[in-house]
Amino acid sequence: MVRQHVNPLSLFYRQPRPLPPLVELFDDPALPLHLDIGCARGRFLLALAPQEPQRNHLGLEIRRPLVELAEADRIAAGLGNLRFLFRNANVSLDDWLRSLPEGRLALVTVQFPDPWFKKKHHKRRVLQPGLLAALATALAPGRELFVQSDVPAVIEPMVALIEASGCFTRPPADARPWRADNPLPLPTERERHVLAQGLPVYRVLFRRNTAPVPAVADLEAAARAADNPGDGADPAAAAVSPTPSPTP
């Protein structure tokens, strides 16, 4: 049995595992890239990749047994525009994202991430300030970041952090606070399960704008403000910084 959750802060999962270059991952490495962070068993991407052959799709998952199962299915299906990798996104993605050709990253999705309800465990959640800064650096203006969850206590701090960065805006026609529909052509397994029970799914589509990426320390302050909404802090103000993050 695969554990439902693993602790991403444990020593084993904190070991950096560099990602291979695109040329080692895909049949056509020049295609636009969709990065799905927390892809679980991979069934969403296994269904999506044949429908979207114009993109490469990379699923990252922290539970190795799920990645092994997903990769076996991918190989059996002969999908050259899809790969699954066992990685902790908050440890191993930054340098790889910086190495991507400019404009190659077209879409990032974070769908139904592990909730980690206890406040002392919030640092285990997937969308940490450093990861958001790395994604904002890699996404060219107009490229998209899509997040969704069925747990308000999970999605609300994610949205607060993204908006506080100043690097993303919502499409003008999108409803607030949540989109009524999924902009992707297929739902995830979790999404189908939630909707089948008549329960809500909370979704937001963001587009990268031209604002510089704030310092990670400012984003960490915004994350703390989002985690403590009753203390009077304004998470949007916490992340405003005229100084972009340094680039190597």
106-136 residue pLDDT tens:
999 999 997 644 454 455 577 999 999 999 9
User: How high does pLDDT run on average in the chain?
Assistant: 86
Question: For this structure, is 28 an active site residue?
Answer: no
Q: Which pTM was predicted?
A: 0.86
Residue 96 domain-assigned?
Answer: yes
Per the structure, the count of domains in the chain is 1
CATH number at residue 200: 3.40.50.150
CB-based contacts of 72, cutoff 8 Å, min separation 6: none
Catalytic residue among 114, 174, 227, 231: 114
Residue 36 domain-assigned?
Answer: yes
Whether pLDDT at 92 is above 50: yes
Per-residue pLDDT at 30? 98
CA-wise closest residue to 132 among 45, 228, 221: 221
Whether pLDDT at 179 is above 50: yes
Whether pLDDT at 140 is above 80: yes
In the DSSP assignment, the letter for residue 244 is B
* Confidence bin at 247 (pLDDT 50/70/90): very low
Residue 217 domain-assigned?
Answer: no
Distance CA 53, CA 219 (A): 35
Give one DSSP letter per residue of 125-141, joined into a string: SS--HHHHHHHHHHSPT
Residue 154 domain-assigned?
Answer: yes
**Regarding predicted confidence, which is higher, 11 or 242?**
11
Q: Which domain holds residue 81?
A: 18-211
Residue 5 domain-assigned?
Answer: no
* Confidence bin at 175 (pLDDT 50/70/90): confident
Average pLDDT over residues 68-81: 98
Residue 191 domain-assigned?
Answer: yes
Cα within 13 Å of Cα(205), Cβ side? 15
Alpha helices in 78-227 (DSSP H): 89-92, 94-99, 129-138, 152-165, 189-196, 216-227
